[in-house]
Amino acid sequence: MTNFTKTKLTDAGISFLSREGVTINFTRIETGCGLYIPDENIGRMESLKAKVQDIEINDITRESDSVVAIEFNVSNKNLKEPYLFTEIGIYADDPDKGEVLYGVCFSTQEEAEKVRAFNGYFASVLRIALRLHVSPDSVVICQSLGESVIVIDNALSETSKHAVENRVITKEFKKYAKGEGLEFSVVNGILNVTYDDGEEES
């Protein structure tokens, strides 16, 4: 397994930390084979150096008020050529700029190993969890999991959890609800949106 450094935030990722009450929607993962030096400055990076794979996020867990763990699998099932696994990029949706590279985890060539191409018989899967810093009062969601999953620190009191949920509902309402018939609710950390067009079913 590649010996990766700790995940570093880009300048775009750091900008999230200074925004009070920001919603961070982590969208996807990329892996690649770019070349790095041990003390690489990744601040201005906007994409990986040599992207190879797009990866879906499997799960996000808020481990504390300022740290989330993002879990994903790197599979070679659709990989036709091997590559030296040196970089991982984590992307998030910036409300003002669109999708940005939030953080990068990298390795030097000497510390990296190859992801083998699929041989037609046996697929290999690497299960990885990366830890990222987030703003303590941020709302973390992941719409790529199929629904708008809200990631809330389990250590929060019930009152604090409800406050976070209400803030998310208010933001989503302002974004989407300009007419009648939309209702928002949070059940088990899932943001639910219900639309009623006001017509009775026949």
d(CA 151, CA 158): 14
3-state secondary structure of 143: helix
135: burial class by Cβ within 10 Å (0-12, 13-18, 19+)? middle
d(CA 111, CA 200): 64
Please, what is the Cα angle at 42 between 14 and 63, to 5 degrees? Answer: 45
pLDDT digits (tens, 9 = 90+) for 88-97: 999 999 988 9
DSSP 8-state secondary structure symbol assigned to residue 42:
-
d(CA 71, CA 88): 12
| Residue that wins the pLDDT comparison between 5 and 152 | 5
Please, what is the Cα angle at 16 between 13 and 19, to 5 degrees? Answer: 165
Percent of the chain with pLDDT over 70: 70
Instruction: Give the confidence band of 18 by pLDDT, cuts at 50, 70, 90.
Output: confident
Q: How many CA atoms lie within 13 A of 129 on its CB side?
A: 8
- Residue 98 belongs to what domain range? 8-150
The Cα-based distances of 57 to 54, 60, 105, 129, 144 in angstroms read 10, 8, 15, 10, 7
Kindly state whether residue 174 falls inside one of the protein's structural domains: no
Q: Please check the confidence at residue 50 and state whether its pLDDT lies above 60.
A: yes
Kindly state whether residue 157 falls inside one of the protein's structural domains: no
Average the pLDDT over 17-25 and give the result: 86
Domain count, the chain: 1
Kindly state whether residue 180 falls inside one of the protein's structural domains: no
Region of poorest pLDDT, from 22-31, 60-69, 99-108, 192-201? 192-201
Kindly state whether residue 21 falls inside one of the protein's structural domains: yes
Kindly state whether residue 143 falls inside one of the protein's structural domains: yes
Kindly state whether residue 103 falls inside one of the protein's structural domains: yes
Task: Give the pLDDT confidence score for residue 11 in this predicted structure.
Answer: 96
User: What is the residue-averaged pLDDT of the chain?
Assistant: 79
